[in-house]
Amino acid sequence: MAKVKTTFFCNNCGAESPRWLGKCPQCGQWNTLVEEVVHDSNKKSTSAAYRPVDSTATKPLALDDIQTTGVARLATGYGEIDRVLGGGIVPGSLVLLGGDPGIGKSTLLLQVSGHIAEKSGVVLYASGEESQTQLKLRAERLHITGKRLQVMADTRLDGVLAEAVRNKPVLLIVDSIQTMYTEDIESAPGSVGQVRECTARLLRFAKETGVPVVIIGHVTKEGNIAGPRMLEHMVDVVLYFEGERSYQFRILRAIKNRFGSTSETGLFAMEEEGLGELLNPSATLLAERTEEESGSAIMAYLEGVRPILVEVQSLVVTTAFGMPRRTSIGYDLNRLIVLLAVLEKRCRLTLGNKDVYVNVIGGLKVNEPACDLAMAVAIVSNLKNRAVPADMVILGEVGLTGAVRSIPRIEQRIQEAAKLGFRRFIVPAGNKQQLKKLNGDVTVHGVSTVEEALQAVFG
Protein backbone atom coordinates (compact mmCIF):
# COMPACT_ATOMS: atom_id res chain seq x y z
CA MET A 1 0.00 0.00 0.00
CA ALA A 2 1.38 3.38 -1.06
CA LYS A 3 2.21 5.83 1.68
CA VAL A 4 -0.23 8.70 2.00
CA LYS A 5 1.47 12.03 1.40
CA THR A 6 0.43 14.89 3.68
CA THR A 7 1.33 18.54 4.00
CA PHE A 8 0.29 21.43 6.21
CA PHE A 9 -1.76 24.46 5.18
CA CYS A 10 -2.37 27.72 7.06
CA ASN A 11 -6.00 28.39 7.94
CA ASN A 12 -5.38 32.14 7.73
CA CYS A 13 -3.42 32.72 4.52
CA GLY A 14 -3.31 29.28 2.85
CA ALA A 15 0.47 29.01 2.92
CA GLU A 16 1.92 25.49 2.56
CA SER A 17 4.54 23.91 4.78
CA PRO A 18 6.06 20.39 4.63
CA ARG A 19 5.92 20.08 8.44
CA TRP A 20 3.91 21.48 11.30
CA LEU A 21 5.03 24.81 12.74
CA GLY A 22 3.61 26.68 15.68
CA LYS A 23 3.80 29.98 13.78
CA CYS A 24 2.97 30.42 10.12
CA PRO A 25 6.09 31.68 8.29
CA GLN A 26 3.98 33.74 5.84
CA CYS A 27 1.34 35.59 7.90
CA GLY A 28 2.86 35.16 11.36
CA GLN A 29 -0.29 33.74 12.99
CA TRP A 30 0.03 31.09 15.69
CA ASN A 31 -1.59 27.61 15.66
CA THR A 32 -3.12 27.97 12.19
CA LEU A 33 -1.35 25.09 10.36
CA VAL A 34 -3.53 22.02 9.76
CA GLU A 35 -2.62 18.72 8.11
CA GLU A 36 -4.13 17.83 4.72
CA VAL A 37 -3.78 14.85 2.41
CA VAL A 38 -2.12 15.71 -0.91
CA HIS A 39 -3.37 14.00 -4.08
CA ASP A 40 -1.65 13.70 -7.42
CA SER A 41 -3.09 16.37 -9.69
CA ASN A 42 -2.46 14.17 -12.77
CA LYS A 43 -4.53 11.35 -11.33
CA LYS A 44 -7.94 11.03 -12.96
CA SER A 45 -10.72 12.08 -10.64
CA THR A 46 -12.94 9.29 -9.33
CA SER A 47 -15.95 11.58 -9.35
CA ALA A 48 -18.18 11.43 -12.44
CA ALA A 49 -20.62 14.10 -11.35
CA TYR A 50 -19.19 17.19 -12.99
CA ARG A 51 -16.16 17.68 -15.18
CA PRO A 52 -14.67 20.98 -16.33
CA VAL A 53 -14.40 21.63 -20.04
CA ASP A 54 -11.13 21.09 -21.83
CA SER A 55 -8.80 24.00 -21.23
CA THR A 56 -7.72 23.91 -24.91
CA ALA A 57 -11.23 25.06 -25.87
CA THR A 58 -10.55 28.47 -24.34
CA LYS A 59 -8.63 30.70 -26.73
CA PRO A 60 -7.41 34.26 -26.18
CA LEU A 61 -9.48 37.06 -27.72
CA ALA A 62 -8.68 40.66 -28.47
CA LEU A 63 -10.28 42.97 -25.93
CA ASP A 64 -12.18 44.85 -28.66
CA ASP A 65 -13.66 41.58 -29.99
CA ILE A 66 -15.31 40.61 -26.69
CA GLN A 67 -19.04 41.34 -26.72
CA THR A 68 -20.67 42.59 -23.50
CA THR A 69 -23.87 44.19 -24.82
CA GLY A 70 -25.92 41.06 -24.22
CA VAL A 71 -24.89 40.68 -20.55
CA ALA A 72 -27.81 41.62 -18.31
CA ARG A 73 -27.60 41.56 -14.53
CA LEU A 74 -30.01 39.39 -12.59
CA ALA A 75 -32.31 41.51 -10.42
CA THR A 76 -32.77 40.17 -6.90
CA GLY A 77 -36.09 41.93 -6.28
CA TYR A 78 -34.60 43.97 -3.44
CA GLY A 79 -33.33 47.45 -4.24
CA GLU A 80 -31.02 47.42 -1.22
CA ILE A 81 -29.24 44.26 -2.41
CA ASP A 82 -29.05 45.44 -6.03
CA ARG A 83 -27.49 48.72 -4.85
CA VAL A 84 -24.78 46.88 -2.92
CA LEU A 85 -24.04 44.57 -5.86
CA GLY A 86 -23.87 47.47 -8.31
CA GLY A 87 -27.17 46.82 -10.10
CA GLY A 88 -27.81 43.10 -9.64
CA ILE A 89 -26.04 39.75 -9.87
CA VAL A 90 -23.61 39.46 -12.79
CA PRO A 91 -23.95 36.21 -14.80
CA GLY A 92 -21.10 33.80 -14.10
CA SER A 93 -20.07 35.54 -10.88
CA LEU A 94 -19.26 33.88 -7.56
CA VAL A 95 -20.61 35.75 -4.52
CA LEU A 96 -19.62 34.99 -0.92
CA LEU A 97 -21.99 36.03 1.88
CA GLY A 98 -20.68 35.95 5.46
CA GLY A 99 -22.15 36.88 8.82
CA ASP A 100 -22.61 35.86 12.43
CA PRO A 101 -24.75 32.80 13.27
CA GLY A 102 -28.46 33.59 13.38
CA ILE A 103 -28.09 37.01 11.75
CA GLY A 104 -30.35 36.06 8.81
CA LYS A 105 -28.07 34.94 5.94
CA SER A 106 -30.16 31.91 4.97
CA THR A 107 -33.39 33.87 5.35
CA LEU A 108 -32.11 36.63 3.08
CA LEU A 109 -30.99 34.25 0.33
CA LEU A 110 -34.19 32.19 0.53
CA GLN A 111 -36.22 35.38 0.02
CA VAL A 112 -34.01 36.33 -2.93
CA SER A 113 -34.39 32.82 -4.35
CA GLY A 114 -38.18 33.02 -4.12
CA HIS A 115 -38.31 36.31 -6.00
CA ILE A 116 -35.86 35.27 -8.74
CA ALA A 117 -37.66 31.94 -9.20
CA GLU A 118 -40.95 33.80 -9.62
CA LYS A 119 -39.60 36.38 -12.10
CA SER A 120 -36.63 34.87 -13.93
CA GLY A 121 -36.50 31.08 -13.89
CA VAL A 122 -35.39 27.99 -11.98
CA VAL A 123 -33.30 28.54 -8.84
CA LEU A 124 -31.42 25.68 -7.16
CA TYR A 125 -30.97 26.09 -3.40
CA ALA A 126 -28.56 23.48 -2.02
CA SER A 127 -28.35 23.27 1.77
CA GLY A 128 -25.95 21.18 3.78
CA GLU A 129 -27.36 22.41 7.10
CA GLU A 130 -31.13 21.91 6.77
CA SER A 131 -33.33 19.14 5.44
CA GLN A 132 -35.89 19.71 2.69
CA THR A 133 -38.67 19.65 5.28
CA GLN A 134 -36.96 22.34 7.34
CA LEU A 135 -36.47 24.46 4.22
CA LYS A 136 -40.15 24.05 3.39
CA LEU A 137 -41.16 25.20 6.89
CA ARG A 138 -38.91 28.25 6.59
CA ALA A 139 -40.35 29.05 3.15
CA GLU A 140 -43.92 28.82 4.48
CA ARG A 141 -43.08 31.28 7.25
CA LEU A 142 -41.71 33.66 4.62
CA HIS A 143 -44.74 33.05 2.32
CA ILE A 144 -42.52 31.69 -0.46
CA THR A 145 -44.13 29.25 -2.92
CA GLY A 146 -43.55 28.07 -6.47
CA LYS A 147 -42.32 25.06 -8.42
CA ARG A 148 -39.33 26.82 -9.95
CA LEU A 149 -37.57 27.10 -6.60
CA GLN A 150 -35.92 23.72 -6.16
CA VAL A 151 -34.29 22.82 -2.85
CA MET A 152 -31.97 19.92 -2.13
CA ALA A 153 -30.35 18.78 1.09
CA ASP A 154 -26.95 17.37 0.17
CA THR A 155 -23.40 17.92 1.36
CA ARG A 156 -21.79 16.28 -1.69
CA LEU A 157 -20.69 19.09 -3.96
CA ASP A 158 -20.34 16.76 -6.93
CA GLY A 159 -24.00 15.83 -6.62
CA VAL A 160 -25.01 19.48 -6.33
CA LEU A 161 -23.07 20.44 -9.46
CA ALA A 162 -24.45 17.46 -11.37
CA GLU A 163 -27.99 18.57 -10.49
CA ALA A 164 -27.13 22.12 -11.54
CA VAL A 165 -25.84 20.91 -14.93
CA ARG A 166 -29.02 18.87 -15.40
CA ASN A 167 -31.52 21.61 -14.45
CA LYS A 168 -29.64 24.65 -15.84
CA PRO A 169 -30.84 27.12 -13.15
CA VAL A 170 -30.54 30.89 -13.42
CA LEU A 171 -29.01 30.96 -9.92
CA LEU A 172 -27.27 28.42 -7.68
CA ILE A 173 -27.10 28.97 -3.91
CA VAL A 174 -24.90 26.85 -1.62
CA ASP A 175 -25.59 26.99 2.13
CA SER A 176 -22.89 26.72 3.34
CA ILE A 177 -19.44 26.17 1.82
CA GLN A 178 -18.10 24.76 5.12
CA THR A 179 -20.57 21.85 4.99
CA MET A 180 -19.74 20.80 1.41
CA TYR A 181 -17.17 18.18 0.52
CA THR A 182 -15.83 16.38 -2.52
CA GLU A 183 -14.85 12.72 -2.51
CA ASP A 184 -11.57 13.51 -4.26
CA ILE A 185 -10.28 15.02 -1.00
CA GLU A 186 -10.15 12.71 2.02
CA SER A 187 -10.24 15.39 4.71
CA ALA A 188 -13.38 16.31 6.63
CA PRO A 189 -15.88 18.97 5.45
CA GLY A 190 -14.87 22.46 6.55
CA SER A 191 -11.14 21.75 6.42
CA VAL A 192 -8.78 23.96 4.46
CA GLY A 193 -8.42 21.51 1.60
CA GLN A 194 -12.16 20.86 1.25
CA VAL A 195 -13.14 24.54 1.37
CA ARG A 196 -10.47 25.49 -1.14
CA GLU A 197 -11.30 22.67 -3.58
CA CYS A 198 -15.08 23.14 -3.32
CA THR A 199 -14.79 26.88 -3.91
CA ALA A 200 -12.50 26.29 -6.90
CA ARG A 201 -15.03 23.91 -8.45
CA LEU A 202 -17.90 26.32 -7.90
CA LEU A 203 -15.83 29.11 -9.46
CA ARG A 204 -15.05 26.90 -12.46
CA PHE A 205 -18.71 25.97 -12.82
CA ALA A 206 -19.83 29.62 -12.69
CA LYS A 207 -17.31 30.80 -15.30
CA GLU A 208 -17.91 27.93 -17.72
CA THR A 209 -21.72 27.86 -17.59
CA GLY A 210 -22.51 31.52 -16.90
CA VAL A 211 -24.70 30.56 -13.93
CA PRO A 212 -24.13 32.91 -10.98
CA VAL A 213 -23.34 31.15 -7.70
CA VAL A 214 -23.92 32.52 -4.19
CA ILE A 215 -22.27 30.72 -1.28
CA ILE A 216 -22.72 31.29 2.44
CA GLY A 217 -19.61 31.29 4.62
CA HIS A 218 -19.37 30.86 8.37
CA VAL A 219 -17.36 33.39 10.37
CA THR A 220 -14.88 32.91 13.19
CA LYS A 221 -15.09 34.55 16.61
CA GLU A 222 -12.82 37.30 15.28
CA GLY A 223 -15.42 38.11 12.59
CA ASN A 224 -13.47 36.67 9.62
CA ILE A 225 -14.86 34.10 7.22
CA ALA A 226 -13.81 30.62 8.35
CA GLY A 227 -11.44 28.68 6.15
CA PRO A 228 -8.38 29.75 4.17
CA ARG A 229 -7.90 33.47 3.67
CA MET A 230 -7.52 32.91 -0.08
CA LEU A 231 -11.26 32.11 -0.18
CA GLU A 232 -12.00 35.84 -0.32
CA HIS A 233 -9.47 36.27 -3.14
CA MET A 234 -11.04 33.53 -5.25
CA VAL A 235 -14.59 34.90 -5.32
CA ASP A 236 -15.81 37.95 -7.25
CA VAL A 237 -17.89 39.57 -4.50
CA VAL A 238 -17.58 39.40 -0.71
CA LEU A 239 -20.61 40.54 1.30
CA TYR A 240 -20.97 40.76 5.07
CA PHE A 241 -24.36 40.71 6.77
CA GLU A 242 -24.00 42.53 10.08
CA GLY A 243 -26.13 43.56 13.03
CA GLU A 244 -27.00 42.75 16.63
CA ARG A 245 -29.33 39.81 17.03
CA SER A 246 -31.10 41.58 19.90
CA TYR A 247 -32.00 44.43 17.53
CA GLN A 248 -34.05 44.31 14.34
CA PHE A 249 -31.68 46.28 12.10
CA ARG A 250 -29.31 44.53 9.68
CA ILE A 251 -26.64 45.97 7.38
CA LEU A 252 -25.45 44.35 4.14
CA ARG A 253 -21.96 45.60 3.35
CA ALA A 254 -19.71 44.92 0.34
CA ILE A 255 -16.08 44.25 1.29
CA LYS A 256 -15.01 43.29 -2.23
CA ASN A 257 -16.86 43.84 -5.51
CA ARG A 258 -15.31 43.37 -8.93
CA PHE A 259 -18.44 44.70 -10.64
CA GLY A 260 -19.31 47.75 -8.56
CA SER A 261 -18.49 50.02 -5.67
CA THR A 262 -17.69 48.85 -2.15
CA SER A 263 -19.02 52.05 -0.58
CA GLU A 264 -22.72 51.13 -0.86
CA THR A 265 -24.67 49.45 1.95
CA GLY A 266 -28.11 47.91 2.25
CA LEU A 267 -30.30 48.30 5.33
CA PHE A 268 -32.88 45.75 6.47
CA ALA A 269 -35.14 45.12 9.43
CA MET A 270 -35.88 41.64 10.76
CA GLU A 271 -39.66 41.17 10.98
CA GLU A 272 -42.01 38.27 11.65
CA GLU A 273 -42.32 37.50 7.94
CA GLY A 274 -38.61 37.80 7.18
CA LEU A 275 -36.27 40.61 6.27
CA GLY A 276 -37.78 43.85 5.01
CA GLU A 277 -36.01 46.75 3.33
CA LEU A 278 -35.52 50.00 5.23
CA LEU A 279 -36.31 52.60 2.59
CA ASN A 280 -36.17 55.48 5.10
CA PRO A 281 -33.87 54.34 7.93
CA SER A 282 -33.50 57.81 9.45
CA ALA A 283 -37.23 58.16 10.08
CA THR A 284 -37.34 54.66 11.58
CA LEU A 285 -34.44 55.30 13.95
CA LEU A 286 -35.88 58.62 15.15
CA ALA A 287 -39.53 57.50 15.36
CA GLU A 288 -39.60 57.15 19.17
CA ARG A 289 -37.35 60.08 20.03
CA THR A 290 -38.59 62.27 22.88
CA GLU A 291 -37.95 66.00 22.89
CA GLU A 292 -36.60 68.27 25.62
CA GLU A 293 -34.53 65.60 27.34
CA SER A 294 -30.96 66.24 28.43
CA GLY A 295 -28.21 63.94 27.25
CA SER A 296 -29.56 63.45 23.72
CA ALA A 297 -28.26 64.76 20.38
CA ILE A 298 -28.84 64.02 16.69
CA MET A 299 -26.04 63.36 14.22
CA ALA A 300 -25.83 62.24 10.58
CA TYR A 301 -23.22 59.59 9.90
CA LEU A 302 -22.31 57.91 6.63
CA GLU A 303 -23.10 54.25 6.10
CA GLY A 304 -21.01 53.87 2.98
CA VAL A 305 -22.03 56.97 1.04
CA ARG A 306 -25.49 57.04 2.53
CA PRO A 307 -26.27 59.59 5.28
CA ILE A 308 -28.33 58.23 8.18
CA LEU A 309 -29.64 60.24 11.12
CA VAL A 310 -29.30 58.59 14.53
CA GLU A 311 -29.72 59.65 18.12
CA VAL A 312 -26.86 59.44 20.59
CA GLN A 313 -27.52 59.45 24.31
CA SER A 314 -25.32 59.97 27.35
CA LEU A 315 -25.63 59.57 31.09
CA VAL A 316 -23.20 61.33 33.43
CA VAL A 317 -23.41 60.53 37.15
CA THR A 318 -21.14 61.05 40.14
CA THR A 319 -19.07 57.94 40.78
CA ALA A 320 -19.14 56.15 44.13
CA PHE A 321 -15.65 54.70 43.60
CA GLY A 322 -12.17 56.07 43.08
CA MET A 323 -11.98 55.03 39.43
CA PRO A 324 -14.78 56.44 37.21
CA ARG A 325 -16.36 54.13 34.65
CA ARG A 326 -16.56 54.78 30.92
CA THR A 327 -19.03 52.56 29.08
CA SER A 328 -19.81 52.82 25.38
CA ILE A 329 -22.41 50.97 23.27
CA GLY A 330 -22.13 51.49 19.51
CA TYR A 331 -19.29 54.04 19.83
CA ASP A 332 -15.57 53.41 20.02
CA LEU A 333 -14.52 53.36 23.69
CA ASN A 334 -11.05 54.76 22.96
CA ARG A 335 -12.54 57.74 21.13
CA LEU A 336 -14.87 58.32 24.08
CA ILE A 337 -11.94 58.43 26.51
CA VAL A 338 -10.08 60.90 24.28
CA LEU A 339 -13.22 63.01 23.91
CA LEU A 340 -13.66 63.24 27.68
CA ALA A 341 -10.03 64.30 28.06
CA VAL A 342 -10.54 67.06 25.48
CA LEU A 343 -13.66 68.30 27.32
CA GLU A 344 -11.74 68.44 30.60
CA LYS A 345 -8.66 70.14 29.19
CA ARG A 346 -10.10 72.49 26.58
CA CYS A 347 -13.55 73.24 28.02
CA ARG A 348 -12.59 73.15 31.70
CA LEU A 349 -15.29 70.64 32.62
CA THR A 350 -14.95 68.33 35.63
CA LEU A 351 -15.44 64.73 34.51
CA GLY A 352 -12.75 62.93 36.56
CA ASN A 353 -15.26 62.10 39.30
CA LYS A 354 -18.11 61.14 36.93
CA ASP A 355 -19.22 57.85 35.45
CA VAL A 356 -19.98 58.36 31.75
CA TYR A 357 -22.24 56.05 29.74
CA VAL A 358 -22.96 56.62 26.03
CA ASN A 359 -25.24 54.74 23.67
CA VAL A 360 -26.14 54.86 19.96
CA ILE A 361 -29.85 54.15 19.55
CA GLY A 362 -30.91 51.23 17.37
CA GLY A 363 -27.95 48.93 17.94
CA LEU A 364 -25.87 50.64 15.25
CA LYS A 365 -22.10 50.98 15.45
CA VAL A 366 -20.68 54.33 14.40
CA ASN A 367 -16.94 54.60 13.88
CA GLU A 368 -16.92 57.79 11.83
CA PRO A 369 -14.99 60.75 13.34
CA ALA A 370 -17.80 63.07 12.18
CA CYS A 371 -19.83 61.84 15.17
CA ASP A 372 -17.41 63.27 17.77
CA LEU A 373 -19.02 66.68 18.18
CA ALA A 374 -22.54 65.30 18.60
CA MET A 375 -21.29 62.89 21.25
CA ALA A 376 -19.48 65.69 23.10
CA VAL A 377 -22.61 67.87 23.08
CA ALA A 378 -24.73 64.97 24.38
CA ILE A 379 -22.29 64.44 27.28
CA VAL A 380 -22.28 68.13 28.23
CA SER A 381 -26.06 68.24 27.86
CA ASN A 382 -26.53 65.60 30.53
CA LEU A 383 -23.74 67.00 32.69
CA LYS A 384 -25.34 70.48 32.73
CA ASN A 385 -28.93 69.14 32.55
CA ARG A 386 -29.56 71.31 29.49
CA ALA A 387 -31.56 69.91 26.57
CA VAL A 388 -30.37 70.21 22.97
CA PRO A 389 -32.95 71.93 20.68
CA ALA A 390 -35.17 69.32 19.05
CA ASP A 391 -34.64 70.60 15.49
CA MET A 392 -30.83 70.71 15.67
CA VAL A 393 -28.29 68.37 14.05
CA ILE A 394 -24.64 68.47 15.17
CA LEU A 395 -21.76 67.42 12.91
CA GLY A 396 -17.99 67.60 13.21
CA GLU A 397 -14.73 65.84 14.07
CA VAL A 398 -13.00 66.86 17.31
CA GLY A 399 -9.21 67.02 17.48
CA LEU A 400 -6.98 66.80 20.54
CA THR A 401 -6.56 70.57 20.51
CA GLY A 402 -10.31 71.06 20.81
CA ALA A 403 -10.61 72.22 17.18
CA VAL A 404 -13.59 71.08 15.10
CA ARG A 405 -12.38 69.77 11.76
CA SER A 406 -14.20 69.44 8.43
CA ILE A 407 -16.04 66.27 7.42
CA PRO A 408 -16.92 64.83 3.97
CA ARG A 409 -20.31 65.01 2.20
CA ILE A 410 -21.70 67.80 4.34
CA GLU A 411 -24.38 68.76 1.81
CA GLN A 412 -25.82 65.24 1.61
CA ARG A 413 -26.01 65.07 5.40
CA ILE A 414 -27.83 68.40 5.66
CA GLN A 415 -30.25 67.50 2.85
CA GLU A 416 -31.13 64.19 4.52
CA ALA A 417 -31.80 65.94 7.84
CA ALA A 418 -33.83 68.71 6.20
CA LYS A 419 -36.19 66.09 4.73
CA LEU A 420 -37.11 65.05 8.27
CA GLY A 421 -37.79 68.59 9.47
CA PHE A 422 -34.45 69.59 11.04
CA ARG A 423 -33.71 73.27 10.48
CA ARG A 424 -30.64 74.16 12.59
CA PHE A 425 -27.19 72.71 11.98
CA ILE A 426 -23.91 73.01 13.86
CA VAL A 427 -21.10 72.21 11.41
CA PRO A 428 -17.33 72.86 11.18
CA ALA A 429 -16.45 76.35 9.95
CA GLY A 430 -14.49 74.83 7.06
CA ASN A 431 -17.56 72.98 5.83
CA LYS A 432 -19.77 76.08 6.00
CA GLN A 433 -17.51 77.82 3.49
CA GLN A 434 -17.96 74.88 1.10
CA LEU A 435 -21.76 74.90 1.23
CA LYS A 436 -23.69 76.12 -1.76
CA LYS A 437 -27.10 77.77 -1.64
CA LEU A 438 -29.44 75.98 0.76
CA ASN A 439 -33.14 76.31 1.50
CA GLY A 440 -34.13 79.57 3.13
CA ASP A 441 -35.56 77.90 6.25
CA VAL A 442 -32.29 76.11 7.04
CA THR A 443 -29.81 77.78 9.40
CA VAL A 444 -26.17 76.61 9.38
CA HIS A 445 -23.80 77.77 12.12
CA GLY A 446 -20.08 77.19 11.61
CA VAL A 447 -17.83 76.56 14.62
CA SER A 448 -14.06 76.23 14.94
CA THR A 449 -13.73 74.80 18.47
CA VAL A 450 -15.71 72.66 20.87
CA GLU A 451 -16.25 75.68 23.11
CA GLU A 452 -17.87 77.58 20.23
CA ALA A 453 -20.11 74.60 19.52
CA LEU A 454 -21.27 74.39 23.15
CA GLN A 455 -21.93 78.13 23.17
CA ALA A 456 -23.97 77.86 19.95
CA VAL A 457 -26.05 74.96 21.31
CA PHE A 458 -26.69 76.09 24.88
CA GLY A 459 -26.16 79.85 24.59
pLDDT of residue 55: 46
CA 243/CA 330 separation, integer angstroms: 11
Cis, peptide link before residue 328, omega less than 30° from 0: no
Give the residue among 231, 255, 203, 238 at the shortest CA–CA distance from 9: 231
393 and 262 assigned to the same domain: no
Q: Which residues are annotated as a binding site?
A: 99-106
223 and 296 assigned to the same domain: no
Collect all residues with Cβ–Cβ distance below 8 Å to 64 and sequence separation of at least 6. Answer: none
Domain finish residue from 247, 277, 307? 277
**DSSP code at position 216:** E
396 and 414 assigned to the same domain: yes
Number of domains in the chain: 3
User: Is residue 63 a part of any domain in this protein?
Assistant: no
420 and 374 assigned to the same domain: yes
- Determine how β-strand 16-17 pairs with β-strand 6-10: antiparallel
Helix (H) or strand (E) holding 341: helix 333-346
For 201-252, write each residue's pLDDT tens digit. Answer: 999 999 999 999 999 998 877 667 766 677 888 999 999 998 877 778 888 9
255 and 292 assigned to the same domain: no
pLDDT of residue 332: 94
CA 234, 238, 240 angle in degrees (round to 5)? 145
CA 450/CA 199 separation, integer angstroms: 52
Give the residue among 442, 399, 413 at the shortest CA–CA distance from 310: 413
CA 448/CA 454 separation, integer angstroms: 11
Give the residue among 81, 165, 60, 74 at the shortest CA–CA distance from 117: 74
What global pTM score does this model have?
0.80
Give the Cβ contact number of residue 66 at 10 Å.
Answer: 7
pLDDT of residue 40: 57
295 and 252 assigned to the same domain: no
pLDDT of residue 10: 82
pLDDT of residue 47: 47
Domain finish residue from 226, 249, 277? 277
User: Is residue 261 a part of any domain in this protein?
Assistant: yes
pLDDT of residue 3: 56
CA 78/CA 146 separation, integer angstroms: 18
User: Is residue 429 a part of any domain in this protein?
Assistant: yes
CA 24/CA 456 separation, integer angstroms: 55
261 and 406 assigned to the same domain: no
Domain finish residue from 244, 277, 310? 277
User: Is residue 93 a part of any domain in this protein?
Assistant: yes
For 427-441, write each residue's pLDDT tens digit. Answer: 999 999 888 777 668
Give 127-132 contacts, CB < 8 A, sequence gap 24+. Answer: 127/151, 127/152, 127/153, 127/175, 128/153, 128/154, 128/155, 128/174, 128/175, 128/176, 128/179, 128/180, 128/189, 129/175, 129/176, 129/179, 130/106, 130/175
Beta bridge partners of 150: 124
204 and 330 assigned to the same domain: no
CA 393/CA 415 separation, integer angstroms: 11
Residue 98: which CATH number?
3.40.50.300
Q: Which residues are annotated as a binding site for ATP?
A: 99-106
> Residues in the chain with pLDDT < 70?
1-4, 37-58, 69-70, 222-223, 226-228, 439-440
State which residues form the domain around 1.
1-40
231 and 83 assigned to the same domain: yes
393 and 446 assigned to the same domain: yes
User: Is residue 225 a part of any domain in this protein?
Assistant: yes
92 and 133 assigned to the same domain: yes
Give the residue among 58, 62, 55, 75 at the shortest CA–CA distance from 121: 75
267 and 288 assigned to the same domain: no
HEC profile of 49-92: CCCCCCHHHCCCCCHHHCCCCCCCCECCCCHHHHHHHCCCECCC
